[in-house]
Amino acid sequence: MGKLIPIFLILLGLAIGTGAGLYLRPAPEPDAEAEEVVQAPVLPAGDSLGTLEFANQFMVPLVVEGRISAVVVLKLALEFPESQRDLVAANIPRLRDGLLQVLFDHANSGGFDGMFTDHGKMGPLRRSLLEAAQHMLGREAVMGVLITDILRTGAS
C-alpha cells in the first residue's frame, strides 16, 4: 500500500497538469483565408474596368537596428471604372504618397521579413493598399490595387 501512494500522486499530478495545459492553451488563430471575403467589383452599367500602372516603382527600405538592411521594390497598378480615369490620373501624386505610407507601415511591422510573399502577409497588404486608395478617391473610384512586381534586395 505504501508503494502505491507515490504512483498515485504521480498520476494525479500528470492528470492535473494535462488538464491545466488543455484549459490554458491559447485559442487557435483564425484562418486568414476563411476571414478574407473577396467581393467582385460592381461596375456601373455600361462601364468597363481599366487599369493604370504607376510609372515609377515603389522602393521601401527595411531598417534593422537603425541601418538599411534591404530594400523592397514594388510595381503597383490600380483597377478602376473607365469613367473614373481622369480622377485617378489627376491624383497620382496623392495616391503614391498614401500607398507608400501603407508600404512603410507594412515594412515597419515586419511584413517584408521572412516569407514575405506568403498569402498571410500579402493579403493584408493588398487590403490595406486598397483601403488607402479608396479612402483618398472613394470606393466607387478604385476597385483594386494590383502588385505586379515585387523584389527584396539585400540580406535580411
pLDDT reported for residue 156: 47
**Does 119 or 47 have the greater pLDDT score?**
119
Q: Which of the residue ranges 4-13, 38-47, 146-155 has the most confident prediction, judged by mean pLDDT?
A: 146-155
**Does 1 or 132 have the greater pLDDT score?**
132
- What is the CATH T-level fold of the domain 43-153, as seen in this structure? Tetrahydropterin Synthase; Chain A (3.30.479)
> Is residue 25 scored above 90 in pLDDT?
no
> Strand runs (DSSP E) across 14-127, as ranges?
49-53, 58-64, 67-81
> Is residue 77 scored above 60 in pLDDT?
yes
Residues 6+ apart with CB under 8 A from 114: none
- Of the chain, the percentage scoring pLDDT greater than 90 comes to 41
Mean pLDDT computed over 30-34: 56
- Mean predicted lDDT score pLDDT of the chain: 84
Angstrom distance (rounded) from CA 124 to CA 134: 15
What DSSP assignment string belongs to 113-154? SSSTTSHHHHHHHHHHHHHHHHHHH-TTT--EEEEEEEEEES
Global confidence as pTM: 0.70
pLDDT reported for residue 57: 94
pLDDT (tens digit, 9 = 90+) per residue, 99-136? 999 999 999 988 888 888 888 888 899 999 999 999 99
**Does 20 or 146 have the greater pLDDT score?**
146
